[in-house]
Amino acid sequence: MRKSFVSRLCIVLGFVALCSIVSPVQAQSESVSVTLAQVVDTNSVQDKSVGDVVETMKQWKLLMLSVSMLLVIALLFAGGLLRPGGYAKAGLRDVSTMPAVVWFFAAFVVLLAMSSAPQLISKIQWIQDQQYTEQQMQAINLVGTYLFGIFAGIGMLFILKRSATDSEGKNNCGLSLSLLDLPVGLGCFILAYPFIELLNMLGVFAYSQTQGAEPNGVAHGTLQQLVDQPNDPWVWTIVGAAVIGAPIVEELIYRVFLQGALLKWLKSPWLSIIFSAIVFAGIHRLNSPPVPWHALLPIFAVGMSCGVAYERTKRVGVPIMMHICFNALNVMLTLMIGAEASQTGV
């Protein structure tokens, strides 16, 4: 009975999340103005266009997201996660086998590997002889940066996992990867989406009230490049690196290593999740160009959601998959509905 209830609840949440994702679509093109009566010949829909339906969904978006959020909270509470000592009852990650400085050092190694990639690429004479443009070099450097970070991160995962194994061969510090992480991560993202989108709407509302104007729909340089040059393969290389490479590297740094260090130091899963999410959002503000301040709220929500999912599942691939879904969703919305839909950015 309990499993049946949870399954039905997840289906409802998935449908509501899908509706809220689609709801920003605006009927601006001629294709959108095609009436539903052309597909279904009934009098009740002949006067209703797709744009009308979408606009109705948009008007109900806040309510749908709020109801979804309440259902998710109820689900998490029923599962014991939000109850006092919920993480302890479910079983904490065992980070006691290594000092906090080791976790910090693992994050530093990944950052060092990433920062060294452009310098090493610049010394490759063959690449310099090709006389690539600035944008092409940006794509090459970005791919190299993430590849270096991924190799270093996986290497540190392997080392830490071996070091954290006890005499009985058991390891409970949450450093495992599995193909099962992909569907679990997708499901966790669907559950987290109402929380992320509500904070996104709050950030946009705060910006509008303080600045007297709506914020720019594209809040990240990568998405802006995609809007400006959607047919450029080098731009797609940059986008692919941001959608796939960035989540892997960033989740290893902020969720696995930094959050692990904070958990070891603070002894509190919630504090480690919150602080690592704050650092995660703050670093995006320090990017060049920086992410607009109104986009920091949904980015913080992503960090919180990924942190909670990681501590609960103890699977590295789960927050990575959630982050990939978030980035891919922003790209998809940018391509399908334009700048108005994407407020957070990759």
Q: List pLDDT tens digits, range 166-178.
A: 656 677 788 888 8
Residues 6+ apart with CB under 8 A from 285: 291, 293, 296
* Distance in angstroms between the alpha carbons of the first and the last residue of the chain: 40
Whether the per-residue pLDDT at 253 is higher than 50: the answer is yes
Nearest to 342 by CA among 232, 248, 273, 242: 242
| CA–CA separation, 271 and 235 (whole Å) | 38
**pLDDT value of position 238:** 94
**Mean pLDDT calculated for residue range 112-120:** 94
Average pLDDT along the chain: 81
